[in-house]
Amino acid sequence: MAEREPSESPTGPQAGRISQADIEVGRARIVRPDGSHDADAVPDLDDQQLQDLYRWMVLERTFDERMVSLQRRGELGTYASGRGQEASIVGSGYALEGDDWLLGTGREAAAMLLRGVSIRDLVLFWRGVGDAAKFMAEENAMIAISIGSQLPMTTGAAWGMALDDAESVVAAYFGDGATSTGTFHEALNFAGVLGVPAVFFCQNNQYAISTPFEKQTRAGTLAQRAVGYGIEGIRVDGNDVLAVYEAMREARALARGGTPAFVESVTYRMDAHTTSDDPTRYRDESEVEEWERRDPIDRYEAFLRSKGLFGEVDREGIVEEVEAEFRAGLEAADDYPEGDVEAVFEYLYAELPPNLEEQLAAFEALLEERPEINDYIERRPKG
């Protein structure tokens, strides 16, 4: 195949060169940090939908706080909080449509709840109950813990949608750290070649665990990488829920039209990477305080007040409602049946092969002979 060449390409000693200095990528924004906004840029959402976005942001924060508390009490193994990223999580999730898929990393609870995932199943997932992944998949929402591992599958699933002439897209959620993996390159390159309906949504929260953004790449932005793959790049203020919503809507439309999109949502992780992490070892408190002054919920509240829409909003009532939903979900998770020993052997083969049948029979015989062993088997992980 002949090399593609622009019809009118410049010539001379400087021709054929590009550098970081040639690339300037801004940041899409509708609501400024003080709540003021560009009225013409506000999305076409009715008053109820604008207020609904606020409720989902408060839900995300309340859910994260309750999950962290559960972990501290020893009822979860670990948890990845999205505190500070509420606008990024909710704005993007709100823009997805009915049959779209969401392949996430665990730091997008509200977006998954918007897809129909239950609080019970999110609690079960973070307790290590394998059935939770199956239940989430029934809502076309899944979590990949291994960084970047879901990205090639995003391209593959989107290719399948294209072959089926489906009207949906696959949205992959990941952090800035995933952009430093080989799977990121493979997924975006292949997506661009195939023109699949995929949206790659990166929450650039400034840290890949303990590695700051500036130590991951020399590029000025992540969004500019899209150009190298021949797809569309969008860079948005990730603390502006309306701008994120618009960015995801645009990205989704592009993907449906045959051009995959990569969205860089610039935000900040105010909590630890997970509850197993100590962020005081690698970042200054003054930095966190600076970002807390840019709180996305406070910003959006200021916007609603300026529009005369906050008078009907009861934040305390929303929190009470969410806490009641959380308690019900937690109770359902606590009531989930304990696993039997057979579960160790399930999901490997359609039919259990003879050697595993022998192992299962031997295991069951051992438990019958020495029932005290049951005291050391954790049948429903909680921590």
pLDDT for res 4:
52
Q: Which CATH superfamily is domain 26-334 in?
A: Thiamin diphosphate (ThDP)-binding fold, Pyr/PP domains (3.40.50.970)
Q: What is the model's pLDDT at position 2? A: 45
Query: For the purposes of burial, counting CB atoms within 10 Å of the CB of 185, is it exposed (0-12), middle (13-18) or buried (19 or more)?
Result: middle
What pLDDT score does 8 carry? 64
Residue 191 neighbours by CB under 8 Å, 6+ apart: 154, 155, 158, 198, 200, 229, 231, 260
Catalytic residue chosen out of the listed positions 225, 273, 299, 300: 273
Can you give the pTM of this predicted structure? 0.91
Residues in contact with 256: Cβ distance below 8 Å, sequence separation at least 6, in sequence order: 167, 169, 197
Q: What is the pLDDT of residue 7?
A: 57
b/e per residue 6-15 (b: at least 16 CB within 10 A): eeeeeeeeee
Burial class from Cβ neighbours inside 10 Å (0-12, 13-18, 19+) for residue 345 reads middle
Q: Are strands 101-104 and 207-208 parallel, antiparallel or unpaired?
A: unpaired
Q: Compute the distance between CA of residue 242 and CA of residue 142 in angstroms, rounded to an integer.
A: 25
All structural domains of the chain with their residue ranges: 26-334, 341-376
Q: How many CB atoms lie within 10 A of CB 347?
A: 9
Pick the catalytic residue from 66, 120, 225, 269: 269
Active-site residue 37, yes or no? no
pLDDT at residue 348, rounded to an integer: 80
- For residue 263, what is the DSSP state? E
**Tens of pLDDT along the chain (383 residues)?**
444 555 566 676 667 888 888 888 999 999 999 999 999 999 999 999 999 999 999 999 999 999 999 999 999 989 999 999 999 999 999 999 999 999 999 999 999 999 999 999 999 999 988 889 999 999 999 999 999 999 999 999 999 999 999 999 999 999 999 999 999 999 999 999 999 999 999 999 999 999 999 999 999 999 999 999 999 999 999 999 999 999 999 999 999 999 999 999 999 999 999 999 999 999 999 999 999 999 999 999 999 999 999 998 999 999 999 999 999 999 999 999 887 777 788 778 889 999 999 999 999 999 999 999 988 887 765 44
Active-site residue flag, 273: yes
Of 282, 305, 315, 379, the active-site residue reads 282
Task: Confirm whether 269 is a catalytic residue.
Answer: yes
Tokens standing for residue 292 = 């807390």
The pLDDT of residue 6:
54
Count of Cβ atoms closer than 10 Å to residue 118 Cβ? 19
Nearest to 112 by CA among 91, 87, 139, 81: 139
